[in-house]
Structure 1
Amino acid sequence: MAAGIGCLFVGKCREASLREAADLYALKLSRLARCEVLTVKDAPAACPPAEKSLREGRDLLAKLPPGAVPVILDERGETWSSRELAAKIKAWEDAARSPWFMVGGAYGLSDEVRERAKSGGAMFSLGRITLPHELARVVLLEQLYRAASINKGLPYHHD
């Protein structure tokens, strides 16, 4: 994908209302920016939590396009305002780099994924609260839409 925004999620969004909200913001985002949303399968339920994170992490990294900027959602990451997120996306796009935002499954992201983000991307936190990964997906897509609207000068965001 040429410079644009990518999202990598673990698992399908099973809750209908959250799936509809995620789809709505993905559609709105696609009208303002080049974007791609991909998912990887959940690891088998029989796996212990650490093994699930490891398997899902490897699948996420395998789908990460070459040259992409890995941006993981992680509670230990930096918190950015909507305007700061918009500025970071604009800076990546101005440098012809594509940020790929990754949301792990129920047990989070593996250390391997965290290290990849630390070495060549960013760790982004939606705050100190813990969100179910399906809800984090919706919040992320809304914030990406908000950032795109800020970068386009549209009146969606109010300071």
Structure 2
Amino acid sequence: MKPIRLYVIGAAKTPFFKDAAAHYLVALRRHLPAEEIVVRDGKAADAARRKDEEGKALLARLSPRDTVIVLDEHGRGLTSRELAAKVSACIEDPGRVPCFVIGGAYGLSQAVLDRADLTLSLCPGTLPHELARVVLYEQLYRAAAILAGAPYHH
């Protein structure tokens, strides 16, 4: 089975977010192969230029056949079961690789948002990017548990 790819801008720096993300990534991998790809933070001081730098680095790693799901506050909210159905559809398509993308401190560039096959929101508000990583990994673990019939989701 092909792995889900998890593209994140910058390494987690806050210890409790780093530990929580690692915990849920291990849990997710019990059900589905998952690969975390850390893209280096942009260096520009200006937020727009920094997002553009990070966006170019992200887009360089994506292939045209990838199913790109980006996290953005303006995205669509899904229930756990709806997310499980999306994950299932992505992993069952033999020609495509599901790729979840979390931006950095300033979000994602317009070019990355334009490349998205789906824009997903984890909540109506804005989350710090390190917390968004933890929440996404937990939600993907929950989705994988639903698909596996495991008791985690109740």
Q: Considering the TM-score relative to the shorter chain, is it more than 0.5?
A: yes
Residue 93 of structure 2 corresponds to 95
Distance in 2 (alpha carbons) for counterparts of 1:15 and 1:65: 31
Residue 132 of structure 1 pairs with residue 128 of structure 2: yes
What pairs up with 1:1-159 in 2 under 5 angstroms? 3-44=2-43, 46-96=44-94, 97-117=96-116, 121-158=117-154
Letter of the structure 2 residue corresponding to residue 42 of structure 1:
D
| Corresponding pairs, count | 153
Residues 14-63 of structure 1: CA distance to partner in whole angstroms, max 9, x if unpaired?
A: 0001000000111111111011101111111x420000000001111112
Q: Which consecutive segments of 4 or more residues in structure 1 shift more than 2 A? A: none
Deviations 1:54-92 (A, max 9, x none): 000111111224521110001111100010000011011
TM-score, scaled to structure 2: 0.95
Structure 1 gaps, min length 5: none
TM-score, normalised via structure 1 length: 0.92
Aligned residue for 2:142, secondary structure, equals: helix
Alignment RMSD, CA only?
Answer: 1.1
1:121-147 deviation digits (Å, cap 9, x = unpaired): 110001211110000000000000000
Percent sequence identity is: 46
CA distance in 2, matches of 1:141, 1:61: 21
